[in-house]
A and B are shown apart, each in its own frame.
Chain A
Amino acid sequence: MTKLREQEDFVSGHRACAGCGLALGARLAMKGVEQDSIATCATGCLEVISTPYPESSWEIPWIHSLFENSASVAAGIEAALKAKGDNETKVIAQGGDGATVDIGMRGLSGMFERGHDVTYICYDNEAYMNTGIQRSGATPLAASTTTSPPGKQSYGNENTKKDALAIAASHGVGYVASASIAYPKDVVEKVKKAAELDGPSYVQIHVPCPTGWGFKESDTIEIARLAVETALWPVYEMENGEIINIRKIKNRKPVEEYLEKQKRYKHLFKKDNGQQKIEQIQEIANRNAKTFELDK
């Protein structure tokens, strides 16, 4: 196995919850950026856990401005570096799923379209965790959040997860990849590829949240792996709009195995007709498997 770079740019001592998938995702992502870099970060868990004034977990120059402008601030940094003749320093923009697929989409789209040399990393924990687990555009079907609770007339979140990777690819972004913290080396390698590309790139890392999803702190990696093994989180990479690599699944698991381990889906196993929702989720997995030819 390839040895990971020893240097840590996101160091311990931060205030993440035990078993936080995001903290692991950020640590791995930073290991992929080997050149000198400057990072931006949207408002959210990552910013809050890592920079309680006057402390910081960041060994690289880092800036947080607002919730929805991580990509735009990064674009400005890149423009400033270019203006000063620095074509070497890499700019890394970071945001959670809400900051990326919801409130920050305009700025992200502009950054892609203008072709800035920025690597955007979306840490996807499928809801607004920092504010207390509210639904985002990346929340999957039927997941319970504090703004999409199950009830007499509800099975949790009504919508399916927004496909931000397809949106990135449709901008002509040179490198687009999904990754999961269940496969650490894959995360590092994808971010490395993204950072080495001259131009915009996008990596969305699936980072399970024990607090928000309701599972044991020791199970983060297992949950992350089940999302991949059930085909609910397809792991692949695209270059110039073409899929070039897919993580194949041997013996794809039924979605129940993933859902039953999380409190956010608990209602599906208790409510009348909950099984119908589970079947709908299984259909989503089947469709993913077909689209990305996931089955080995």
Chain B
Amino acid sequence: MVERRVMEGSHAVAHAVRCCEPDVVSAYPITPQTHIVEKISQFVADGDLKSNYMRVESEFSAMSASVGASATGARTFTATASQGLMLMSEVLYNASGLRLPIVMSVANRAMGAPINIWNDHSDSMGVRDAGWIQLYAEDNQEALDMTIQAYKIAENQDVMLPAMVCMDGFILTHTYEPVSIPKKEKVKEFLPEFDPEIKLDPENPLTLGTVGFPSDYMEIRHEQYQAMENARDIMPKVFSEYEEKFGRTQNTLTENYKTEDAEIILVSLGSIMGTIKEAVDELRENGKQVGAIKIKAFRPFPDQELIEGLQNAEAVAVLDKNITLGKKGALYTEMKDTLYSADIKPQMTNYIVGLGGRDIPRQSIKNIVQQTKDDLNNGQTREVRFVDLKEE
């Protein structure tokens, strides 16, 4: 029997962590992530989770302690958001370079200044080159599922890279939804014990984290690049295996929603996909040929899936909850790169939405579709549009 309960996203993730039984959890509070590490500390306090729970003095140490623990062969979990993720950023590159399969929840939150605790993706997009696998959850169930899947992907011998599961701050972390909680025993069948070949062990002393000279650095980086490419192949297998066991999730790095005959396709990631799907449904009722593609994995980036999904689209509207100053939204620029190697050349527009927690109602999504349609009819488009910007 699967236990189905109504709970906030943070607690859903905490339950996933409980089922994965990390040896070490290093925790530092930051809004809107805090409920995750609070709930885990309660599990530990109640004896429901036998992790060594470290209450560290900063996010920098949260990630550094994770590096030490993971290098010792321990399954490791931590969580953060926004400024905390930035404080970790130096260590993020290190965790990846040392090939440590740490799993971390990121409760996506805007970057200051101005200080803002609400949701957008500026934080995780800012560290997209740190060498971490990045998964983005649409809802609380997916945040739970992806956390378990993340361990299985990260700890694969051909991958051995850290993974962050991104979930929208407040929108998911603090919102109650019904969630199916798997049985711990069943998760154990899916996720074997972590026992890496290379670890800090007095029985077999190894030196980790050496100086990499120009004569070797590039080869080591190339191996890391290859590992991320391996993740691209391994992820669908993990998703399939998860589906067999728990009856959820599709096996792809993207999810296509009513795209087959769609003239206009909206592409985005995270919780906004729920609103997008509802808007698509309503527009479909009015005869509009609209569809949507959800990006589940931003790293590795699902190039092939996107090319296939967008095959018949005349226009693509990319919704970014971040802005790369001096360029465009991160998702948009990556998608343009993806499509350059494809035969298709749909009209593309970058819609910047929801920065710093600005609400994105269904009507705004519909407006985006209308705008895209108008551009198609006019045969011209402005590449970047900030959505629902207040007039001066």
Contact = CB atoms under 8 A, between A and B. Distances in A.
Contacts of A221: none
A42 to B, nearest CB: 11
Contacts, number: 158
B58 A106 contact: yes
A185 to B, nearest CB: 25
Interface of A: 36-38, 40, 47-48, 51-56, 58-66, 68-69, 72-84, 89, 106-107, 109-110, 113-114
B98 interface: yes
Interface stretch (B108-116, B197-205, B380-388): B197-205
Contact of A80 (B23, B58, B206, B207): B23
B58 to A, nearest CB: 6
A36 B205 CA distance: 10
A134 B211 CA distance: 21
A65 B71 CA distance: 10
A1 B24 CA distance: 44
A61 B202 contact: yes
A107 B67 contact: no
A53 B213 CA distance: 7
Given A69-B64, A79-B68, 7 more contacts: A52-B213, A53-B220, A61-B208, A64-B210, A75-B54, A107-B60, A114-B54
B202 A38 contact: yes
16 contacts: A51-B209, A51-B210, A55-B210, A63-B209, A64-B210, A66-B64, A69-B61, A79-B54, A79-B69, A80-B68, A80-B69, A83-B51, A107-B61, A110-B61, A113-B57, A114-B56
B52 interface: yes
Interface in B45-65: 50-52, 54-58, 60-61, 64-65
A93 to B, nearest CB: 9
A77 to B, nearest CB: 4
Interface of B: 23-24, 26, 50-52, 54-58, 60-61, 64-74, 76, 90-91, 94, 98, 200-202, 204-213, 216, 220
Given A63-B68, A76-B26, A79-B52, A110 B57 contact: yes
Nearest to B220: A53
A13 to B, nearest CB: 13
* 7 nearest A-B pairs in the assembled complex, by CB-CB distance: A76-B68, A76-B65, A110-B57, A72-B64, A80-B74, A69-B64, A64-B209
A91 to B, nearest CB: 9
A68 B64 CA distance: 9
Contacts of A66: 64, 90-91, 94
A59 B205 contact: yes
A110 B58 contact: yes
Contacts of A53: 210-213, 216, 220
B56 A72 contact: yes
Given A63-B208, A76-B69, A83 B64 contact: no
Given A52-B211, A77-B71, A80-B72, A61 B205 contact: yes
B238 to A, nearest CB: 25
B72 A114 contact: no
A73 B212 contact: no
B195 to A, nearest CB: 11
Contacts of B51: 83
B210 A52 contact: yes
A106 B61 contact: yes
Contact of A77 (B72, B210, B211): B72
Contacts of A74: 68
A48 B205 CA distance: 19
Contacts of A78: 68
A37 B26 CA distance: 22
Contacts of B73: 80, 84
Contacts of B23: 80, 83-84
Contacts of B57: 106-107, 109-110, 113
A69 B52 contact: no
